[in-house]
Chain A
Amino acid sequence: MGSLITDSSQAAMGAVAQPVRIQFTYWQGVGRRLTRDPISMVCASILVLLVLAAVFAPLIAPMDPYKSSIFNRLKPFGTPGHLLGTDELGRDMLSRLIYGGRISLVMGLLPITVATFCGSILGIVAGFFGGKTNMVIMRITDVFFAFPSVLLAVGIAGALGAGPVNVLVSLSLVFTPPITRVAEAATTQIRNQDFIEAARATGASAPRIIVGHVLTNVTSLILTYASSLIGVSIVLAAGLSFLGLGLAPPTADWGLMLNTLRPSIYLAPVICVTPGILILITSICFNLLSDGLRTSMEVKP
C-alpha cells in the first residue's frame, strides 16, 4: 500500500519535473513524419519541379514547342541549341517536354479530383444511410468494377470520341467507383459509433452529422486512397492520348508525343522513348509519395 502511494507520487513528481511536451495535432504529426522520410521528400521535390516547369513553361522553355524545322528532324541528344534533340518535325524536344507536362499533369490529376469529390459523396451517402440507398449505389458501383480499368476508359472515351473533355469524363468514371467503395466502407464503420449516436440524439440533422462528424473521420482515409490512384491516372491518361483519344496533334502532351514519335523508332530510338521517361518518373513519384503518406498516417501506439 505504502509503496503504491510513493510510486504514484514519484510518477506525479516525474511528470512535473519533465519539460512540457509540445502536443501536435494529428495532421501536424503526419506532416512531421512525412517531411522526415527522405524518399517522400525526394519525390515531392521532383513533383514540385515538374509542376513549376509546367506552370512557367513559357518562361523556362528554350524554344517555341510548335516551331518545326524540316532540316533538323530527329537530331540526337546534345545537338547545339537542342539539348534533348528534336522530334519528327524538327521541334525542340526539351521545350515540348516542358510544355507537355501542362496537359499530362492536368489530365492525370483532374480526373482524380473529380472522382474523389463524386466518389466521396456517393460513398458517404451510401454508408451513412445504409439500407436501400446503400444497395442501389453499391450495386451500380459493382457493375463498373466488372470492367478492367483500361477497357472501361478506352470504351467510354472511344464511344464519346477524341477530345480532352471526353478523356476527363471517362477517367473520372473509371476512378469514381473505387473511391466510392472506400468511402462507403469507412463510413459504414463509423456510422454506428457512439459519437454519431450522440449527435443524432441531440437532434442534429443528417447533413449536419455528415459534415460535422462523418467527413472529419473519413477524409484522411479517402484522400490517402485517392492519392494512390494518381500514378495510375497519369499513366492511363497518357495511354488514352497515346491511342489518339486525347488532344489532337501538334499539341505537346507526353502520351501524344509517344504516339507521333513511334513511327520514327527505327531512325531515332532514344528520342522516341524519351517522353515515356517523364510519364514513368511522375507516376513513380506519386506512388512513392502516396506510400509515404500512408505510412506517416499510421499512428504507432
Chain B
Amino acid sequence: MLWYSLRRIAYILPILFGVSVVCFSLVHLAPGDPMTAVMPEFASAELIAQIKQAYGFDKPLPVQYLYWLQAIVSGDLGTSTTQNRPVLDELIPAIWNTGQLAIFGMLISLAAGIGLGVLAAYTRRLVTDRTITAAAIVGVSVPHYWVGMVLVAVFAVQLGLLPAMGMANTGTGVFGLDDIRFMILPAVTLALIPTGIIARSVRATVLDVRRQEFVQTLQANGLHPRRVFMHVVKNAAPSVLAIMGIQIAHLIGGSILVETVFGWPGTGYLLNTAIATRDLPLLQGTILVLAVFFVLMNFLVDLAQPFLDPRIKRQ
C-alpha cells in the first residue's frame, strides 16, 4: 500500500510541475507585454525599464518562472492588478463559496446519478430503461449555462419560488434555510451533467457485474435479492468511484459558467471578472488553484481505489 501511494505521488509531481508551467505561460501567452496593464499611460522608457526590473520582468523566462514558483510555494499568488489586493485574499472566500455550491451539487448528482443508474440497470421495463438512457444522453449534451437560464425562467420568473441570483448573507458563516434557497437552482444546474454521466456509467457497470457468473451462483444458492444486490454494489463500486471523482472535479470546472448565470460569488465569478478586466494575475492564480485541486482530487481517487478493490494493488 505504501509502495502504491509513493508511486502515485511520483506520478503526480511531474504533472503538478507541468500545470505550474502552463499557468505561468498563461500570462506570457497574452498579447503584448504583461506589464502594459499596470503601466502609467505615458510612462517614459526609463520608468518602464525600472518597473520591469522591480517586477523581475527583465530576466530570462526560466529565471522568472523559478522566482514565480518560489513565490507560489510560499503562498504568494501575486497581486490583482485591478483590486490591488493579494490574489490569495480574493481567492479564499471565492473558493469557500464555490466549495459550498460544489458539495451541494455533488450530493444531488450522486444521489440522482446512482439512483437512476441502478434503476435503469435493474428495471425489467424497457420504457424505464430507455427513458433513463435518453435522459442521460440529454444530460451529457446539454449546455448547462442554458439550463441555468431555463431554471431561472421557470422557478424564479414564472413561479416566483426561488431567488434568481446571488447568495444569502454572504460570509456570516451561519448556514440557514435561506442559504439553501439561494443554492438550489445553481446546485441543480451544476449537478445535471455529472448526473447524466454517473447514471450512464452506473447502469453499464451494474449490468456488467450482474452478468458475471458469481451473481448467478449467489442467486442459485438462494441468497436473498437484497444480499445479492450488496455483492453487486461491492463489485461495481471501484469503477463508479473513479468516474465520480473525475465528475466532481469537472463539476467545479463547470461552475465557471454556472456561477456567471447565477451571479454566485465564487471562483467562476472571479475568473469572469478577471477576464473582463484583463486582470492576468487573478486569472492565473484562480486557474492554478483550481487545476491543482483537480490533480489532487484525481490523486485521492487513485489512492482510494485499492481500498475498494484489492485487485488494483497487485497490478
Contacts and interface: CB of A to CB of B under 8 A. Distances in A.
B26 A279 contact: no
A29 interface: no
Interface string A237-270: 0110011110000000000001000100110011
The prevalent SS among residues of A at the interface is helix
Interface stretch (A126-134, A149-157, A197-205, A207-215): A149-157
Interface in A222-240: 231, 235, 238-239
A270 B254 CA distance: 24
B31 A160 contact: yes
Interface in B127-154: 137-138, 140-143, 145-147, 149-150, 152-154
A150 B153 contact: no
A135 B128 CA distance: 46
B253 interface: yes
B157 A158 contact: no
Contact of A151 (B16, B145, B291): B291
A154 B294 contact: no
Given A148-B250, A243-B275, A139 B14 contact: yes
Interface string A258-289: 10001001100110110010011001101110
Nearest to B250: A148
A146 interface: yes
A139 B18 contact: yes
Interface string B155-177: 00110000010000000000000
B143 A151 contact: no
A147 B143 contact: no
Contact of B22 (A143, A273, A284, A287): A143
Interface stretch (B57-65, B219-227, B255-263, B307-315): B255-263
B290 interface: yes
Interface in B192-212: none
Sorting the interface of chain A by its residue count into under 10, 10 to 19, 20 to 34 or 35 or more gives 35 or more
B30 interface: yes
A161 interface: yes
A17 interface: no
Interface in B1-35: 14-16, 18-19, 21-23, 26-27, 29-31
Interface residues of B, number: 54
A276 B283 contact: no
A150 B157 contact: no
A289 B231 CA distance: 36
B287 interface: yes
Nearest to A281: B141
B272 A146 contact: no
Contacts of B164: 265
Interface in B239-260: 249-250, 252-254, 256-257, 260
A64 interface: no
B250 A146 contact: no
Given A154-B256, A158-B283, A272-B149, A266 B157 contact: yes
Contact of A284 (B141, B271, B283, B291): B141
A143 B261 CA distance: 29
A81 B119 CA distance: 48
Given A161-B31, A270-B153, A231 B141 contact: yes
Contacts of A158: 271, 274-275, 283
Given A243-B256, A269-B157, 11 more contacts: A146-B295, A148-B250, A148-B294, A150-B253, A159-B30, A161-B31, A242-B260, A258-B146, A273-B150, A276-B150, A284-B137
The 9 closest A-B pairs by CB, nearest first: A148-B253, A143-B18, A276-B146, A269-B153, A158-B275, A283-B141, A159-B26, A151-B253, A155-B287
